[in-house]
Amino acid sequence: MLQNTGKLAGQTLFITGASRGIGKAIALKAAKDGANVVIAAKTAQVHPKLPGTIYTAAEEIEALGGKALPCIVDVRDEKQIGEAVERAVQKFGGIDILVNNASAINLTGTLETSMKKVDLMLGVNLRGTYLTSKLCIPHLLKSKNPHILNLSPPLNLNPIWFKNHTGNALLPDFFLDEAEALVQNMGDQVVIPVVKGSAATGGPIAETFNIIKGVLNPDVVKSTGGVYRFDLSGEHAGVWFIDMKNGGGSAGSGEPPVKADVIMTMDSADFTKMFAGKLKPTMAFMTGKLMIKGDMSLAIKMEKMMSMMKSKL
């Protein structure tokens, strides 16, 4: 346990869910410094299964040297939060720190989770945190050193945290940064040759597709499984394709050998920039420079291929 520094003496902490658990532990730690603690929680009467109430927590806080204000609060209720905030300001003169600790969790699969549980989790974790923060911020802004502490899992998008809670295999996200698992897994299998001199004979689009041909191999084809058609306009207008579904893969000008799974439409200059890494596909898509028709999950996989190529284009 870290030693108390006394820095919280006289500071007012508004802590949601502070009648037990982590919230109460934070409250007791602050009490040792001589802090004022607002216990904003639902439990006013003894629970048959869970220990502690807002009143027993208040007694423990004051026994350690702090000052306590127990408030019956459901963080989903705007009126209850508003009243607790006003009581805190009237009693202690303001609010210096908000600790959004109250939370609800239910680790069951989608089909097994009732909407009542879903509404509870969204109401407490999302609405409650937002609402409490909104009502405390006007008072926090008057503090010399205001803080909001949100207790939550880290924002970690590693698939290990999600794979057991979906209906299907995870796919790369079109709106995430490029360095994702697909590229990392294939990076040591792919050799990207540098093709020189093709620009003079076929222009930048032909040069790009020559490099694409060098990237294609059975592993890339197996991991992608899609046929792409590019309808390009502008200075180097034309139709091009990449087949990463059949055999060892192929690429070139004209219609693809089989029906395309994805059709991408854009200006030829933007196409060159995109494959060279100078224009993010996400930004191109969101600004209307790239139009996508077909299987979006396969379009996402194409973005990963672009990231492998950009250093050589």
The answer as to whether 2 is a domain residue is no
Q: Which of 81, 125, 133, 80 is nearest to 106 (CA)?
A: 125
Q: 3: pLDDT confidence band, cut at 50, 70 and 90?
A: low
Structure tokens at 127: 């609405």
Q: 298: pLDDT confidence band, cut at 50, 70 and 90?
A: confident
CA 42, 48, 50, 53 torsion: positive or negative?
A: positive
The answer as to whether 188 is a domain residue is no
Domain of residue 122: give its range.
Answer: 12-150
Asked if 229 and 241 count as a contact pair (C-beta separation under 8 A), the reply is yes
Which letter, b or e, does each residue of 235-251 get, where b requires 16 or more Cβ atoms within 10 Å of its Cβ? ebeeebbbbbbeeebbb
Same domain, 16 and 146: yes
The answer as to whether 165 is a domain residue is no
The answer as to whether 217 is a domain residue is yes
The pLDDT assigned to 191 comes to 37
CATH number at residue 255: 3.30.1050.10
Number of independent structural domains in the chain: 2
- What gap in Å lies between CA 152 and CA 168, rounded to an integer? 25
Q: 283: pLDDT confidence band, cut at 50, 70 and 90?
A: confident
Asked if the model's pLDDT at residue 143 lies above 90, the reply is yes
Mean pLDDT, the chain, rounded, equals 84
User: Which of 150, 176, 193 lies at the terminal end of a domain, its last residue?
Assistant: 150
Using a pLDDT cut of 90, give the percent of the chain over it: 55
Same domain, 224 and 286: yes
The answer as to whether 197 is a domain residue is no
The answer as to whether 17 is a domain residue is yes
What is the DSSP annotation of 198-260?
A: HHHHHHHHHHHHHHHHHH--HHHHHHH-EEEEEEEESTT-EEEEEEESSTT-EEEESS-SS--
Which of 192-196, 209-213, 263-267 is the least confident region? 192-196
Mean pLDDT of 124-148: 97
pTM of the shown model: 0.57
Asked if the model's pLDDT at residue 255 lies above 80, the reply is yes
The answer as to whether 172 is a domain residue is no
Same domain, 212 and 146: no
The answer as to whether 46 is a domain residue is yes
The pLDDT assigned to 157 comes to 66
Which letter, b or e, does each residue of 54-88 get, where b requires 16 or more Cβ atoms within 10 Å of its Cβ? bbbbbeebeebebbbbbbbbbbbbeebbeebbeeb
Structure tokens at 282: 């996400």
Most confident option among 137-151, 188-202, 289-303:
137-151
Q: Which 3 state secondary structure label does DSSP give 124?
A: helix
pLDDT tens per residue, range 145-199? 999 999 987 667 666 666 666 676 666 565 555 444 444 443 343 333 333 333 3
CATH number at residue 119: 3.40.50.720
